[in-house]
Structure 1
Amino acid sequence: MSNMAVRKALIGKCRGEYEVVHDAPIPDLQPDQMLCKTKAVALNPADAKTIDNSPSPGIGGYDFSGTVVRVGSSVTRFKPGDEVFGFVHGLNADNRDSGAFTDHVIATAELCCKMPASMTSNQACTMALALGTVGYAMFKQLGLAMPGSEGGERPEYALVAGGNTSSGRMAIQLLRLSGIKPIVTCSINANAVMNDLGAFQTFDYRSSTCGREIKNLTRNTLVHALDCVTSVDTMAMCFEAIGAKGGKYVGLEAPPTQVKYIRRDITVDWVQALSLFGKPVKLEGVYGRPASPLDRQFAAYLYQEAEKWTEQGLIRGPDFQLGQDGLEGIRDGIDHVRKGQVQGYKLVYPIA
């Protein structure tokens, strides 16, 4: 054990419930890990879904920012004192020591980025999970070209359903960096924000003609669709928008079976971002995954590239609002997320 033997943390207590503990252990670091003094954490829908459906006595939370305290023997990108943000596996039944909801995070270094001087810790903590999720969906599953790379597909258009979600906002920016025109669905109130992020054209997701209008704009040639909502309605809209030659659809959740088989010319997939850690994802049913070293390699490259994009000011996180009372306040915040009361922004909790 290290001489900093324990830490304060928010851990899974039972289904639907977290609890604050003051004696969560700080184990010795694995070679690829680093210990970070937490500055801020951001809440995600997964924080509610996981504790409600797959609770574990591990530390919760996926998104953090902080200061590196110590690094493992194989970590070369970071050193003590670096300001970073990263994606960690919250409520991990296999490793209860991972998770963001603690005053000292144990992070996998390859899934972290250095924080640019122009960015605050509150801003930075909103980005890493969205980067991993969207990057995996677009550049691996949809096969689109990563910014600056020569491989992958670079079509004229790609569709982002749910552009005003955190993942949708990230997708718009990454598509623009790749030279692809983002076609975006959102509420009409979000049009100005979507355009500022780089949307080529926005469509009202409430319109019954949304899919048809997108098909007309793209001249019946659309191939790639990323669904950041993944409901029956959004999936049906994406299927209607995809052109006559078929295409690829990726959702952020397991896709609804009511729509999945309507068009056999569309390849359907969905994102399990936890696969990026390269270890088995031991969740029930379709949520489980075998270990994928290739996904880990992809993640390492993605986060190195993303560090450059953030440093250059090419991508930014979503809007956020500050929550109160640090780790203790997170439980109320998760309840707001659970009830659908957090829309168009992320809840961020500074950690003293």
Structure 2
Amino acid sequence: MQYILFDEPGIRTAMLPFTFTRPVAHIRIGIWTITEKWQNWLGSPVSHLTEAYLQTKFPQQTADDNVYINGAICPTDALVTAIQQLANGEALLLADQTLVAVRTQQRLGAAPTAAGYVALTTTESPTVLRQLPDIFLQNGDQIRADFAKITAGRTSAPLTDPYTRVYGAENLFIEEGATIRAAVLNAEAGPIYIGRNATISEGTIMIGPFALCDNATVNWGGKMRNNTTVGPYCKVGGEVGNSVFFGYSNKGHDGFLGNSVVGEWCNLGANVNNSNLKNDYTNVKLHSYATGQLEDTGRLFCGLMMGDYTKAGISTMFNTGTVVGVNVNVFGAGFQPKHVPSFSWGGAAEGFSQYRLDKALQVVRETVSRRNMAFTEADEAILREIYSMHAK
């Protein structure tokens, strides 16, 4: 049996700019990406059915028995059981008719629908990503779910630093190789997970639910609020709350980031700040790639959505509900526009021009090589395709 996570087209569009560079299931929410969650719940590898230009990096693996699973849905034990009990030709749906999974002998070339399958309905109500704010809105609950899965039957590495104070120690789990110095960790209201070889520097205050993933760092004096995930190899400082960093991104200095999502390979310069609440307490509107307009999120709190490979200069200010695309270089005085398209260069005061592709790729190569990682031909092909989508 092969498990394939598919991109539901409407959700995939709603999750832009993050799904420009990855399948929906490679979004990080909680401690793991959705892909990692399914692999661990199923106890089996998974592959992806995604956009054609992403398929080289994220290939689909099929056999004579295939289960296609909606990559926007986070697993639960009951949901996994129901999926594994599907017979060939059956589909599993949520009560609202959202397609969860289908089982088929065919290799599909596009996301499935329930048409042509025997439809079964589950009473489960799993976490489903439907719009960008869901990533941070559901992050605390997903930290709890992943924490329970990761720590089941395991013992935390010991906390050896005598100058660190822990509240709710039963909700703290430390992986081997992690370093913690003179910090205050409060896990009374939710778990704190410290990944392998992660670093919590002196003076850090951290409130759970919180996930600091493998090889990630919180710099000196960091104020880490609850419901936050700092992905692998990220370096963060200042004040961060109810936000998700996917991985390999930096916000190393002072400045506030709240109710926000930052992709991979991003850098936020010193004193970068975002607003996450409007002064008139009305709902935040967010750029929609489906309509090309600002759409009401139905939420009072919503900050910055930043696509992969984007960099913000020192003291850059982002307004409530700002969406910045892939491979943007943004800087300068004043609040930036509510939407900055991919491959833009400039700022609100200076104006924007199109980022030269050769220069953009050069900067990406330098960024990735600093972490001793390879920028592959598949990665470059993806960025070239995104550039062609936005070329003027």
- Flag whether TM exceeds 0.5 (same fold): no
Greater length-normalized contact order (CA 8 Å, ≥ 6 residues apart)? 1
TM-score by length of 2: 0.26
* Greater share of helix: 1
Please give the TM-score of this superposition, normalised by the length of structure 1. 0.28
Larger radius of gyration: 2
